[in-house]
Amino acid sequence: LLDTAPRIIDRPNAKPLASALGAISFKDVGFSYDGAKRALDGFTLDVPPGKTVALVGESGAGKSTIFNLLLRLYEPQSGEIRIGGEPIAGVTLESLRDAVALVSQDAFLFNESIAENIAMGRKGAGDADIIAAAEAAAADAFIRRLPKGYDTLVGDGGNALSGGQRQRVAIARAFLKNAPILLLDEATSALDAESEAAIQSALARLMKGRTTLVIAHRLSTIRASDLIVAVDRGRVIETGTHDALVARGGYYSKVLRLQQA
Ligand code: ADP
């Protein structure tokens, strides 16, 4: 995988992203993976700087595709994505990816030590930075209980750790990276109650002051966000706060009932 030539490279006149502190806007974005079925279709959304927007919708609605396009793992076939008014198609991939931290439920861990896995968040990070990031991610205590502490090898794909532990390593990476934009793919799998509480409060700290897009599954996350965006078949079909959308009794309230069933 690492040897695969990237399909998306910098445009000839690419410039570094001027600022990642502005709004993120998707304007009429259309995208298909296979040229037939549309994953996003006229997707339009403004994410105000520093706010948290929860993406809600059934599996296959297009939520992960929104992340893929913002990271330029794929490029839209129509429409445009901007950060702080600047089209991301014209910025260098390095500056774009430096500006964005991704925390996903299947964060990739390499079979190296926990310290090295956290350090991937930022080149050249020292031990003190790594430990501070682990503390912020509620990971320091479990790491210290491992046989070799921060030097413990995590196994292939991190299989020596539980799901909740792997997620906290991913959160620690993001703290270390300290990017202004955060993409969070919340875990769908159940975690034990202690991990759950620790992860929720670590995520709340991580989101603070950043522009966050979260693929949300937990009602607590959805309620705490500034704006909820219901996505269906690649389009935004409802936006609003939790209370407003429940009162409306539309798509969101239906999805909510399904999720809680
Ligand atoms: P969600 O994150 O809301 O579950 P996705 O963005 O993953 O939805 O998927 C949107 C649509 O794109 C779905 O129809 C899905 O099958 C399709 N899709 C997602 N990833 C790929 C891929 N790598 N190749 C082909 N089709 C894909």
The β-bridge partners of 103 are: 184
CA 119 to ligand 1 center in whole angstroms: 30
- Nearest ligand 1 atom to alpha carbon 58: 3
- The per-residue pLDDT for 36 is 93
| Residue 60 Cβ contacting ligand 1 at under 6 Å | yes
The β-bridge partners of 212 are: 52, 182
Residues present in the chain in total: 261
| Residue 62 Cβ contacting ligand 1 at under 6 Å | yes
> Is a pLDDT exceeding 60 seen at residue 183?
yes
| Residue 34 Cβ contacting ligand 1 at under 6 Å | yes
| Residue 37 Cβ contacting ligand 1 at under 6 Å | yes
pLDDT tens-digit map of 62-103: 999 999 999 999 999 999 999 999 999 999 999 999 999 999
Contact 150, 131 (CB under 8 A): yes
| Residue 33 Cβ contacting ligand 1 at under 6 Å | yes
C-alpha closest to that of 70 among 161, 179, 169: 179
Mean pLDDT of 166-193: 89
CA 62 to ligand 1 center in whole angstroms: 6
> Is a pLDDT exceeding 80 seen at residue 160?
yes
Interior angle at CA 122, CA 118 and CA 126, nearest 5: 75
| Residue 214 Cβ contacting ligand 1 at under 6 Å | no
Q: Which helix (H) or strand (E) holds 55?
A: strand 52-56
| Residue 70 Cβ contacting ligand 1 at under 6 Å | no
Q: How far is CA 252 from CA 7, 200, 237, in A?
A: 36, 22, 9
CA 65 to ligand 1 center in whole angstroms: 6
Single pTM value for the model: 0.93
Highest mean pLDDT among 1-15, 35-49, 195-209: 35-49
Residue 104 — pLDDT band, cuts 50, 70, 90?
confident
Measured over the CA atoms of residue 31, residue 10, residue 98 and residue 26, the dihedral's sign is negative
The β-bridge partners of 52 are: 212
Mean pLDDT of 158-176: 91
C-alpha closest to that of 181 among 89, 107, 56, 84: 84
pLDDT tens-digit map of 145-154: 999 999 999 9
Averaged confidence pLDDT in the chain: 92
CA 60 to ligand 1 center in whole angstroms: 5
pLDDT tens-digit map of 201-258: 999 999 999 999 999 888 888 888 999 999 999 999 999 999 999 999 998 888 888 7
| Residue 57 Cβ contacting ligand 1 at under 6 Å | yes
pLDDT tens-digit map of 120-141: 989 899 999 999 999 999 999 9
